Chain A
Amino acid sequence: MTAPVRPGGDLDSASAAPLHPAAREVLLAALERGYADPRRLHRPGREARLLLDNAREATAVALGVRADEVTFTPSGTHAVHLGLLGLVRGARRGNVVVHSAVEHSAVRHAVEWGARGDEVGVDTHGRVDPAAVRDRTRRPEVGVVALQSANHEVGTVQPVGRLDLPPDVPIFTDACASMGRLALPSGWAAAAGSAHKWGGPAGVGVLLVRTRARWRNPFPGDDRVDERSTGFENVPAVLAAAAALQAVVAEREEINARHHELIDVVRSRVAAEVPDVEVVGDPVRRLPHLVTFSCLYVDGEALVTELDRRGFGIASGSACTASTLTPSHVLEAMGVLTHGNVRLSLQRDATRADVDFFCDVLPEVIAEIRSRVGL
């Protein structure tokens, strides 16, 4: 038994954010109105089609792209698979994908499944060097470059817009960690996002494919409204995701400034008040709401459990908490401590009191876990 999550204690928005208030009414109304098959010409079908088109239009405006470049998918992971493998299928050169060593596992799995990978290392902040990526694209069999907009575990923003690649090598960017919070970078041919990370419902991903991109469906097609999508669209969820995205974009200037400052507080307090700790990721060019640190001699699972007992929900990239028993490949690629790892990511309404309370409790929790092994 654990305590219920204290209000303000869910510090894991990078895993999932609760439904944005702006999406709630939209979702409830759309459950009534948007149940029908949007391909049908009868009245309920036309109604669902209208809502689907509205969602596509609102998403396009919020992201600064064309409506016909937006495809809704059943998850961010599926959007990553479709986007990346579709560029590989349409590639003018070979099927090698040059990608950073810190891509999300969705990218790594897609490469493993349907392409050949060429991994580029990162610096200690987890950032890839644009010149190193460019060098790798000299190989004639390199068809696509995959680079995330920002890292999902340590928050470091990647130089997607500064990749200077040959014109026949398109970029796929996994924007799941940043979509809504940060404007999209420039220069990509296809991109992916995930609604439950910005306060939309789970089960909605967004695939963006530029009009002139050479993208070919890597999976069996379907006869839906949108040629890139397959299966019956979840119209109410898609519309709610679009409403949440619009709201997040509209309020992001204020919220990002507040989050950036609160994360600075966590970064400096943790570094000052917890002995033998390493705060990782770029301190400045980063996602506004996220920080990761690792504590020497601390078992990641014990840390997650003890913080949960005190009403805090955090994620950990330590092997001791992962089903695979291997540590986070992101931390590994950065060469930073993989055990005792905490990823803290703020929910929309996080306050100074919330982060101060976490920082007040953390040192004693760490000390208690260390004392179990006599350190």
Chain B
Amino acid sequence: MSTADDGQPVLELDCRTMMCPMPVIELARHLADVEVGELIGVVAHDSAAAVDVPAWCRMKGQDYVGADVTDDGAPRYVVRRLS
């Protein structure tokens, strides 16, 4: 695990096998596991996550950092905890 400083999430949620809305539910459950200012990643194949993670950030006042791809090719959505 790396720290928030190098742009890598301090916590990565493995939601590869989950369907919507479970990835966003996991994100909500585990947001408090990282400190304010730190990054949390959601790894999900479910295509709804690409829209729903940014929408969740907007609704809950968190910062959507962006999407990248994990080593195994799964989409990862990265969020910075603001509150």
Residues of A within 8 A of B (CB): 276, 278, 294, 296-299, 318-320, 325-327, 331-332, 335-340, 373-375
A338 touches B59 (CB 8 A): no
Q: A296-B56, A318-B20, A319-B20 are in contact. Are A339 and B48 (CB under 8 A)?
A: yes
Q: Interface digits, B31-66 against A, CB 8 Å rule (1 contact, 0 not)?
A: 000000000000000111011101110011000000
Q: A338-B52, A374-B29 are in contact. Are A320 and B20 (CB under 8 A)?
A: yes
CA A276 to CA B60, docked complex, whole Å = 8
CA A85 to CA B21, docked complex, whole Å = 37
Contact of B51 among A299, A320, A331 (CB under 8 A): A331
- B50 CB contacts on chain A under 8 angstroms: 332
B19 touches A320 (CB 8 A): yes
CA A237 to CA B50, docked complex, whole Å = 44
Closest to A337 in B: B55
Interface range, B side: 10 to 19
Contact of B21 among A320, A336, A374 (CB under 8 A): A320
A337 touches B25 (CB 8 A): no
CA A299 to CA B46, docked complex, whole Å = 14
Residues 1-24 of B at the A interface (beta carbon under 8 Å): 19-22, 24
Closest to A124 in B: B58
Q: State whether the Cβ of B28 lies closer than 8 Å to any Cβ in chain A.
A: yes
B59 touches A319 (CB 8 A): no
Contact of A339 among B29, B52, B60 (CB under 8 A): B52
B25 touches A375 (CB 8 A): yes
A339 touches B24 (CB 8 A): yes
CB A356 to nearest CB in B, in angstroms, measures 26
Chain A to chain B contacts (Cβ below 8 Å), 30 pairs: A276-B60, A278-B55, A278-B59, A296-B59, A297-B21, A297-B28, A299-B21, A318-B48, A319-B20, A319-B46, A320-B19, A325-B47, A326-B47, A326-B48, A331-B51, A332-B50, A335-B55, A336-B51, A337-B51, A337-B52, A337-B56, A338-B20, A338-B48, A338-B55, A339-B20, A339-B21, A339-B48, A373-B25, A375-B25, A375-B29
- B59 CB contacts on chain A under 8 angstroms: 276, 278, 296, 337
- A294 CB contacts on chain B under 8 angstroms: 55
- A296 CB contacts on chain B under 8 angstroms: 21, 24, 28, 56, 59
A276-B60, A319-B47, A339-B24 known; 11 new pairs, CB 8 Å cut-off, are A294-B55, A299-B20, A319-B20, A319-B48, A320-B20, A325-B19, A337-B51, A337-B52, A338-B20, A338-B55, A340-B21
CA A373 to CA B24, docked complex, whole Å = 11
CA A318 to CA B20, docked complex, whole Å = 9
- A326 CB contacts on chain B under 8 angstroms: 47-48
Q: A319-B20, A373-B25, A375-B28 are in contact. Are A335 and B56 (CB under 8 A)?
A: no
CB A239 to nearest CB in B, in angstroms, measures 44
CA A332 to CA B22, docked complex, whole Å = 18
Contact of A327 among B22, B28, B29, B51 (CB under 8 A): B51
A297 touches B51 (CB 8 A): no
CB B50 to nearest CB in A, in angstroms, measures 8
